Amino acid sequence: MRRLPARHSRRPARSHPVVRTVAAAVIAVPLFVISASLATYAHLNANIDTADDVDKYLGTSRPTPTVTADPLVDGFAGKPLNILVMGIDARDLDDKTYGYVDGQRSDSTFLVHLPADRSRVDIVSVPRDSLVDIPSCLLADGTKTAPRTGEMFNASFEIGSGSDKNLTTAAACTRKTFEQDTGVRTDEHVVIKMDGVRDVIDTLGGVPFCFPEAMDSPKAKLHVEAGKQVLDGKTSIAFLRARTGTGGGLWIGSDLGRLDRQHEFLVALTDKVHHEKLLGKPTKLLKVLDQATKAISVSPGLGDLRTMAGLANGLRGIDGDEIDAITVPNAPSTTQSGRVVWTSAADDIWKRLKEDRPLTDPAPKPTGSTHTPKATKSAGVCG
């Protein structure tokens, strides 16, 4: 994966581990669906929590679609697609592992943009501490929330979930907030439950990871020694959640620093999935897909494994070099400590997405040379 800096951004661009977890499962779907029995397909499809009537909660005041919404053969082919992915950190009184946190929060949010020609994958991470305007959102009981100004972006999920913690209205409110503040229309969404990601990692047998120094975060319940480790699901989620502590930059206490660490974990997780060669291990593939489908709630357009399979078929030629991931260009807020605001450079990102153009211009090739330097290995990957 190319790590391209967002111009004038406070931090270099980073992607998020959950998106490649989902991508790995989706890429595996086409061949699996072809060979799976009807009973197996029905079992996996029943695992997926599909949002009903999400358009009702999104309202009518939305950015215009890039192209006509009439579905083609596979439902998505031939048109750009914007999928807003939300990783939720929902913990309740029954969760003794990570501690109790009231409410339902969108811990990580990023837009996955697939161009019409499926030549690449563009990912834009939204810092959860971004100060944005949140519009009025329709709740499941028919009431509407009041619009808010200068709120943290991840508050939109909790506001939209209402008292009954409704995932459909929570996702719709987050999508409305993103659309209002960027002018970019979202076509579909995926909500990923962090405890589900934990189970996927355990089913994979853990993720090898290399720590340059020991890390300790009492708040996240993370304690790891320096050197090569194989992280189980519990430790992986603690690592992904950690913001404060000692070692690995935790002393800074920054959410943006956490995005950096999550990127390193992403590389290690991607390598793990690649080396597992799940398509050649149908029994293990079934177990991974079983956990992965239980971990997500999706909008209706993604609510069938056959639909995901059709989408994955269009991405078969994509590898790490065609995945560009950036963080919304931002700067520290001058009014609220620990928060960030988007800079004017973000406007170029939104314009590129609406025009179905790459997030960044390709680097010029060196004159008189055809040599392509090898990418350096992530510091988090052992081997």
CA dihedral of residues 325, 167, 45, 263 (deg, nearest 10): 20
pTM: 0.72
Mean pLDDT within 132-150: 96
Mean pLDDT within 105-116: 84
- Where do we find the tokens 């010029």? 364
Q: How many residues does the chain have?
A: 383
90: confidence class by pLDDT, cuts 50, 70, 90: low
Neighbours of 67 (CB within 10 A): 11
pLDDT of residue 345: 96
42: confidence class by pLDDT, cuts 50, 70, 90: low
Mean pLDDT within 39-45: 55
pLDDT tens readout for residues 93-108: 344 443 334 456 667 7
Phi, psi of 198 (to 5 degrees): -55, -45
The set of residues, in sequence order, having a beta carbon less than 8 Å from that of 335 and lying 6+ positions away, is 131, 150
378: alpha, beta or left? (left if phi > 0; alpha if psi -120 to 50): beta
Query: Helices marked H in the chain — which ranges?
Result: 17-35, 38-47, 54-58, 155-161, 167-182, 194-204, 233-241, 255-276, 282-294, 305-313, 345-354
Per-residue pLDDT for 35 more than 50?
Answer: no
Per-residue pLDDT for 11 more than 70?
Answer: no
Report the DSSP beta bridge partners of residue 209. 229
136: confidence class by pLDDT, cuts 50, 70, 90: very high
pLDDT tens readout for residues 213-263: 899 999 889 999 999 999 999 998 888 888 888 888 787 766 667 767 776
Inter-axis angle of helices 194-204 and 17-35, nearest 10 = 60
| 20 against 116, higher pLDDT | 116
Per-residue pLDDT for 10 more than 70?
Answer: no
Q: What angle do CA 279, 282, 283 make, to 5 degrees?
A: 140
43: confidence class by pLDDT, cuts 50, 70, 90: low
Per-residue pLDDT for 379 more than 60?
Answer: no
Distance CA(172)–CA(167), nearest Å, equals 8
33: confidence class by pLDDT, cuts 50, 70, 90: very low
169: confidence class by pLDDT, cuts 50, 70, 90: very high
Phi, psi of 52 (to 5 degrees): -100, 140
| 135 against 106, higher pLDDT | 135
pLDDT tens readout for residues 316-369: 666 666 778 888 999 999 999 989 999 999 999 999 999 999 998 877 766 654
CATH code of the domain occupying 2-193+299-354: 3.30.420.590
Report the DSSP beta bridge partners of residue 323. 121
Count H helices, E strands: the chain?
11, 16
Contact at 8 Å (CB) between 138 and 171? Answer: no
